[in-house]
Amino acid sequence: MKIKPECAVCITRQVVDAVKEITSDEKERFKLIHEGMKKINEVYGEFIVPAFMGTSVHRHLKAVSYNNDPYKNLKESANEFAIKYLKEEEALLEDIDPLKRLKNKIKLSIAGNVIDFGPYGTDIDVTEKVKNTVSGTLKIDFSSELFDDLKKSKQIFYICDNAGEIIFDRVLIEELKKYVNVVVSVKGMPILNDATYNDAVIAGIDKITRVITSGTDVIGTKFEESSSEFIEEFNKSDIIIAKGMGNYESLTEYEENPVFLNDKENKTPKLKVPIYYIFKAKCPPIAKNVGVNEGDNILLKKSISKV
């Protein structure tokens, strides 16, 4: 998915939010925001992927501020909130019918997707958004197709999104593991509020399945920068699950323009596998691209070539 003109508002606000987390010194804030705006001016343009633009800007802020993890405190708060909420609500997700149970846990994982300081900012009412999502519906619902695919597959590659959200992901991953092996991927280094290996440990995912990292701090997924381990597990899997808008923005670019990391000379057609995008449409450009309203819950099935 390519950028839309109004994405400039979101990335500018992200710069201000990140700088507020980096320092309380007003002079330093002016300096860092100026640096961030310079970087936006450099990379903003009609042919860039929003997630990749965000990556460039947030990498620059990390470098010029000498702060490798500006969202560290917010990520810790998000994890704490998710753990507390899950203890109170997890029992309500169970259902005798396996398809309904799967759908409940997909909605919970989408509820975790609202704990996102990228599109929403750092002053959101997380509790209300989570409750509304869990009790809501899937505007695009491919849960039956996912349920059927599970029965004929051996492995899922589950690409995580944010801290906090990853706590809720664990519940869905446990459900998926009743049918298939699941390999989970998180970021190799901090970027925005994206989940890293430490967040996977806090969520307890390392106790139930294998967790790897992308080897990079790209927002979303960029195969050209991903670790060999990431590529290997992606290619071994029968189903891909991609959480969050960043993964939707980036991976949809590869649907029509596959990369040929292991076959650069011949560029032979690669086997396609189903990819399920799980997210909340949190901004007008994404909603319009998917064909839904802002705020709708999405479980979308598409296909993507192996790399």
Each residue's pLDDT, cut to its tens digit, for the chain (307 residues) gives 999 999 999 999 999 999 999 999 999 999 999 999 999 999 999 999 999 999 999 999 999 999 999 999 999 999 998 998 888 777 667 788 999 999 999 999 998 888 765 454 455 567 777 888 888 899 999 999 999 999 999 999 999 999 999 999 999 999 999 999 999 999 999 999 999 999 999 999 999 999 999 999 999 999 999 999 999 999 999 999 999 999 999 999 999 888 877 666 666 667 899 999 999 999 999 999 999 999 999 999 999 999 9
Same domain, 288 and 161: yes
Burial profile 227-257: b = 16 or more Cβ within 10 angstroms, e = fewer: eeebbebbbebbbbbbbbbbbbbbbbbbeee
Q: Is residue 214 part of a domain?
A: yes
Same domain, 172 and 219: yes
Same domain, 60 and 140: no
Q: Is residue 73 part of a domain?
A: no
Whether the full predicted model's pTM is greater than 0.85, yes or no, is: yes
Q: Is residue 245 part of a domain?
A: yes
Residue 261 φ then ψ, to 5°: -65, -35
Please write the tens of the pLDDT for every residue from 160-192.
999 999 999 999 999 999 999 999 999 999 999
Pick from 26, 50, 65: which residue ends a domain? 65
Same domain, 59 and 195: no
Pick from 65, 80, 113: which residue ends a domain? 65
Q: Is residue 86 part of a domain?
A: no
What was the pLDDT predicted at 265? 64
Amino acid at 299: L
What was the pLDDT predicted at 145? 98
d(CA 67, CA 92): 40
Same domain, 202 and 270: yes
Pick from 47, 65, 83: which residue ends a domain? 65
Structural domain boundaries enclosing 122: 96-302
Count of domains forming the chain: 2
CB of 200 closer than 8 Å to CB of 119: no
Q: Is residue 78 part of a domain?
A: no
Same domain, 178 and 263: yes
Same domain, 171 and 291: yes
